[in-house]
Structure 1
């Protein structure tokens, strides 16, 4: 990750030496700015996909830009879709669509940018109902994909983008994930799905084969159940479950995760913890396995009882006689 960012900065610095903005008349209503980080193409004033296509239909003195952005200071951009080959022969490294009315993204939307695009962000896209996850496999340089506040309800298979390390689909309507959706991301390090209605995590949803330590953020997802087969392959180095609806910690689900973290830590590899802060855990006989597994305690954060006389007590601090009747 660090080397990729260093390379990006070096490329930006080199590109800004020779690149120049095209004639404003050719790209209207987009505007080009030449700033210290590089060339910025600001298309916040477009009103349709046809208008956006037209802006990139002209030959430009320099076809390699650093930044594309649609960022409204007030209101929303009425752009409703991202069509195929939207940038024509122009390439970008960092692409940001924000505050739009986009409902769909064509699988070939970013054709021609397979080797240039490093980051793709579609933010505050509260009408986006579909996204071509499979086509991301063509984006050979992409290392960050961020989608936020969408109407996406399912994450389908993400194509095998060789350098994609971060995938975020947050604040959306995702309630289902195609099994092994992330299995082909060989360099995945961060998966962020916080604030989605992922109430029940099913088998294969978080199967992974990444060569990197990776973490998954599932905060605020109303999760009440996690299948023992939800995580497989390369197990995560951290699972963040703050603010969900877990009432228990099934051994078949959580022991493999905690033992993986323990083994990673012993080997000197990156190891975070399983964070279950702010979950209504019911402490009874079913949770005894946690108490009896003292070596795993450092890798479980804020497992706090919500019931009876032990409400507010961390599971690992339950008195020895609590399980006398088990």
Structure 2
């Protein structure tokens, strides 16, 4: 009986060994710890409580091994990694790393994709990526970063994908983006960003996708994205404080709605705090996806264009958008919880519209003046006021010097206690003509 069991056990071991890839020999403790996925090009050892890495797996396929996956372990530093390797893709997310230095990155001179998310790296040195010229994707989500050194990404000439989501950034790290970069996808969602400015994205001339969901934004200001001609996807999902998107946020105002937002094809503003939306914000003719459900929409004339099926007949994503109209609910009392698609357009309340300077083209132009122009106008006004005050002071002084002699004499009596002639003067010992 025992001989039969031994035979079956031996057969199982032999079949397991021969079914494995013999060209990838695992040494140290990796095999016993369950790192069974191994091919000529990939070493995978996830969630095995590893505290260090056995370098032997590199040596067996030093010219072919290009992907290493060590996610969900207990590794805290790079000391157990080879001094140099040909690794191109490195997964080390959700470990115990507390720092990342230039010396660490020099171990991977050919690295193209780095996944280091969900570690405890609170800050990064300015020179960390010097020499990392081949990196195309950088995933640094959930590290706890509150700021980034200026020009930190400058050496990354090949970088096209940057994930900085779920950190502690309070503003867009604009100074880290250099003119001429190739970044096409940027994730900033999950950061406590409170405001945007047009200069934040001015260097991202090739950007196509931006995610800004789960932020603390309250408004999207005028021309915030106006310089981004290649932007095709924007996402603000779950920015629960977002109340207003300026009609010029994606381009200059023109009578044609959304003309300068023509490149946008995917927009998502789900679960924000928007009650209305100007029809000039987006170009409906270019929208393939437009997600806007779970907002407190005020169903009146201000969003009639949004609720009107005729608006979306020219949109390539009209079917999906009609689904959004069915899933989106009104929040005002009259149409509470009514789907936007179910509200009769001829029953929308259109109260007296409060005059707004943005409704007048001439005043709209003045409101779009740059800060520099505003400062120049204020400076000019100050100069004019100064000139007027100078003229008034000059005239006052002139009147004083042209007073008749008698007036000046009586002033002298008041000020000095005796009569002082402007022409000759009096002797100090002379008797006052007013003495008895």
Q: Could you tell me the TM-score, scaled by structure 1's length?
A: 0.68
99, 104, 126: which one pairs with 2:94? 99
Give the equivalent residue in structure 2 for 1:218. 212
Structure 2 SS opposite 1:154: coil
Residues 182-221 of structure 1: matches in 2 within 5 Å?
Answer: 182-184=177-179, 186-211=181-206, 214-221=208-215
Structure 1 SS opposite 2:260: helix
Give the equivalent residue in structure 1 for 2:114. 120
Count of residue pairs the alignment pairs up? 283
Matched, 1:276 2:269: yes
Greater Cα shift, 230-239 or 240-249: 230-239
Aligned equivalents of 1:59 and 1:168: distance in 2? 28
Report if the CA contact (8 A) 1:165-1:185 is conserved.
Answer: no
Q: 1:109 to 1:160 in 2, by over 3 A?
A: same
Matched, 1:249 2:242: no
129, 154, 162: which one pairs with 2:122? 129
Greater Cα shift, 295-304 or 214-223: 295-304
Report if the CA contact (8 A) 1:143-1:163 is conserved.
Answer: yes
Task: List runs of 5+ in structure 1 lacking aligned partners.
Answer: 1-18, 265-270
152, 155, 160: which one pairs with 2:145? 152
Matched, 1:181 2:168: no
38, 44, 59: which one pairs with 2:41? 38
* RMSD (Å), alpha carbons: 4.1
Offset at residue 247 of structure 1 (A): 1.2
Q: Which has the higher helix share?
A: 2
Aligned equivalents of 2:86 and 2:35: distance in 1? 14
Aligned equivalents of 1:159 and 1:98: distance in 2? 24
Offset at residue 39 of structure 1 (A): 3.3
Residues 27-74 of structure 1 show CA distances to partners (whole Å, capped at 9, x for unaligned) of 899997674572316485443xxx55xx449992442422222233xx
Offset at residue 104 of structure 1 (A): 1.3
Q: 1:277 to 1:311 in 2, by over 3 A?
A: farther
Aligned equivalents of 2:93 and 2:281: distance in 1? 47
Aligned equivalents of 1:221 and 1:138: distance in 2? 33
Q: Which has the higher strand share?
A: 1
Offset at residue 101 of structure 1 (A): 1.9
Q: 1:38 to 1:314 in 2, by over 3 A?
A: farther
Report if the CA contact (8 A) 1:155-1:177 is conserved.
Answer: no
Q: 1:238 to 1:58 in 2, by over 3 A?
A: closer
Q: 1:278 to 1:130 in 2, by over 3 A?
A: same
Give the equivalent residue in structure 1 for 2:260. 260
Aligned equivalents of 2:260 and 2:299: distance in 1? 33
Q: 1:82 to 1:230 in 2, by over 3 A?
A: farther
Give the equivalent residue in structure 2 for 1:16. none
Higher relative contact order (CA 8 A, sep 6+): 1
Offset at residue 106 of structure 1 (A): 1.0
Q: 1:296 to 1:86 in 2, by over 3 A?
A: same
Offset at residue 194 of structure 1 (A): 1.8
Give the equivalent residue in structure 2 for 1:296. 283
Report if the CA contact (8 A) 2:166-2:189 is conserved.
Answer: yes
Give the equivalent residue in structure 2 for 1:60. 59
Q: 1:35 to 1:205 in 2, by over 3 A?
A: same
Structure 1 SS opposite 2:116: strand
Residues 2-33 of structure 1 show CA distances to partners (whole Å, capped at 9, x for unaligned) of xxxxxxxxxxxxxxxxx944661498999976
